[in-house]
Each structure stands twice: as C-alpha cells, then as structure tokens.
Amino acid sequence: MKKLLLGSLVVIFFFFIAITHTSAQEGNKINSKYDFIPGEEIIFFDDFSQAEIGDFPYGWNTNASGEIVTTNIQPGKWLRFSTATTQTAIWTDELLNLPENYTIEFDIIPIEWDQGTDYNGPDYVGYSFRLMKSINKDSYDWGMSGEGGFLLSYNYGNPNYRSYINDYNGELYDINGSYEKEGVTQKKDNKYHIAIWVQKARVRVYQDETKIFDVIKAFPKQPFKIDRIRFELGSALVSNIRIATGLPDMRNKLLNEGKLVSYGVYFDVNKDVVKTESFATLKEIAQVLKDNPNVKIKIVGHTDSDGDDKSNLDLSKRRAASVKNYLVKNFSIDGTRIETDGKGESDPIANNDSSVNKAKNRRVEFIKL
C-alpha cells in the first residue's frame, strides 16, 4: 500500500546499482532484481467485497476493533483495524492448510493510531503482521504467540522481522533483523504492497518492488506448517489478501502445454495499466519468448462477474493489450509475435460465488499459437 520514496540521491543511486528500467506506462522505476512470483493456485483470497460497510468481515476474528470501510486513498473495500496493545489482534478464524511452499500478499495503508492518545505522536506509523503455527484452533495464542512463526513489524514506519520457535528441542529459537537501507520507510495514508514467499525454511519479504528480507533459516525445524495469519499492534487499512501455492512452471506450461494461466500480472481495480509488481512474472515470460524466437502467443484477459458485461469485455481487452505493450517496451519483444484478445467474464474457471473464486477468474492467459 505504498509508493517507493525515491526522493533522495542515495535512493536513486541504490536503484541505479540495482539496474532499473523505465516503465513507459507508469513512469516509475522498475527494480530488475525484483524476483517475486506468486503461486499459481489461489487457496485464500479476501478483498472484503462481500462484506458490508461498517461490519466486521466473515472468516476473521478479533478481540480488538475492526470494520469494513472505503477510503479516498484507494478504491475498493478495506478492513480497518486498530490493535494498540500486545493482547489484541485480528486473525483468520479458521486454520489454514498451508503446504511447505506458498506466497502471501496484501495491500496495506498505515493510518494514524485511533486510541485517544498521542503517545506516539500524530504521525506515528506502526503495525505488525504475523505468520504463526497455532497451539489450537480456538486460541489466538497470545503470550506464547503460538508454537512459532514469523513476525513482520513496522515501528515508526521501519521494517523489522522476528522468526521464532517457542519449543525447538526444548530450547527457544529466535532470530531477528531490520532493513537498514533507505527508501522503504512507510508513511501514513500511503498504500504499500507486501509479498511474502515461503519455501520450507526460507522466508523472503518484499515491499512493493524491493526485497527487504531474505531469511534462509527462518524455520529450521522442518516440517513447520504455518496455519494462521494475524494483524496486530497498530492501525491500518488492509485488503487484497491472497495466499497461493505452487511456483508456476511458465516455460513448460507455455511451450509444452500450450497455455499459461497467470495471476502474477497486476492491475488496479477497473484499470488497465500493468503494475510494477508484475515485473518478475513478465520477465520470465519474455525470457521464454527470447529463447524461442519462432513462438508466437495470444494474450487473453479475463475478469470476474462484477460490473456489466460490456465494461468487463472492454476492460479485459485493454488489459491484454497493455500486457503486450509492456513486453514490447520493457523486454524488446517483437510485437508482431503477439496477438491480444479479451473474454471479459464470459469464460470463468470457477463460479463467481466467493472472493476466492472471483480472484481465480481475474487472470491473464498466454496461449501458444
């Protein structure tokens, strides 16, 4: 839920070293070392579109305060939470059945603490997000904070992590760190995209297009299955929470199976501009095309059933064309090798009856011709 702050010369120099490309569509810098690719099978998604304004959303639980709101900062519905003590949180009600490898993403907007106190000052930005292994289904596990987990926290807008196991062969396991480089401090009322990539013991964390943590042995005790996510100790708006499994085999899907269904191409609601978080996915697809210069593809956009048919059809076509332009301009792919089309909501792969299924239907397909 945020834009990278590129105001200082130090940050500009950092991104120059990281090798950047200019997006003709967004006018932003794209970090070419951004390597996050979301899982291909969506197993959890909540954009709170099914919840009523002012209500607490179904599927979540809390002993703090939270409600669904809208904001002029960003479109859509958001869960506004306020958890100012170490004994309050908002968590997923049902336990999650997560495999060894998965990705978690969400958009977040830090807001001013609403606790009737200015203890931390009016511009204080802080909250925490926890992946945890619960002690039991009905416990929100304060005190021990579950059997273990991974905590991403922002204190005065600066990211920190803690990885812990509360009982590792009878001993505590606890490591932590902070991101020391400039350019990622979160500010109040700005949107940031957080992505977390778990591969067995390894945990990588990204804020927008910057990798902020890469913890090789976050969970040395294997297997260690996370089963709950939790927001705590702060105030923020959160939405578009997505958990997916399975690293997509793009080369095999496109070249051998003839069709790649991608959830790694991002757009804002009702927009057709490719977001910079799409870079790693499209870079992989571009590499397949470069390695196979005789292959031609068709890019097809798809939407869910929200909105009217005509608008969805137009949006899907514009999004497909936008993806083509991104490949041409950022990776020098010959545009004559790419056709585009859009199906709107006419070709769903799941019923449009839940947030998860609607997320599955919002996709971009790459078809070998």
Tokens of 249: 């085999």
209-226 pLDDT per residue, tens: 899 999 999 988 778 889
Q: Which residue in 187, 183, 132 sits closest to 6, CA to CA?
A: 183
Q: Give phi and psi for 328, each to the nearest 5.
A: -70, -50
Mean pLDDT of the chain: 86
Among 14-23, 51-60, 115-124, 335-344, the range scoring the smallest mean pLDDT is 14-23
DSSP string of 147-171?
SEEEEEEEETTEEEEEEEEEEETTE
Q: Report the distance separating Cα 365 and Cα 264, nearest Å.
A: 11
With beta carbons less than 8 A apart as the criterion, state whether 244 and 38 touch. Answer: yes
Q: Which residue in 271, 265, 192, 244 sits closest to 356, CA to CA?
A: 244
Domains defined for the chain, CATH in brackets: 9-245 (2.60.120.560), 250-368 (3.30.1330.60)
Q: Between 314 and 120, whose confidence is greater?
A: 314
pLDDT at position 142 is: 66
36-82 pLDDT per residue, tens: 999 989 999 999 998 999 999 999 998 888 999 999 999 999 999 98
With beta carbons less than 8 A apart as the criterion, state whether 124 and 113 touch. Answer: yes
Q: Count CB neighbours of 18 within 10 A.
A: 16
97-118 pLDDT per residue, tens: 999 899 999 999 999 876 544 4
Q: Is the pLDDT of residue 143 over 70?
A: no
Q: Report the distance separating Cα 162 and Cα 93, nearest Å.
A: 23
pTM of the model: 0.85
Gap between the terminal Cα atoms of the chain: 37
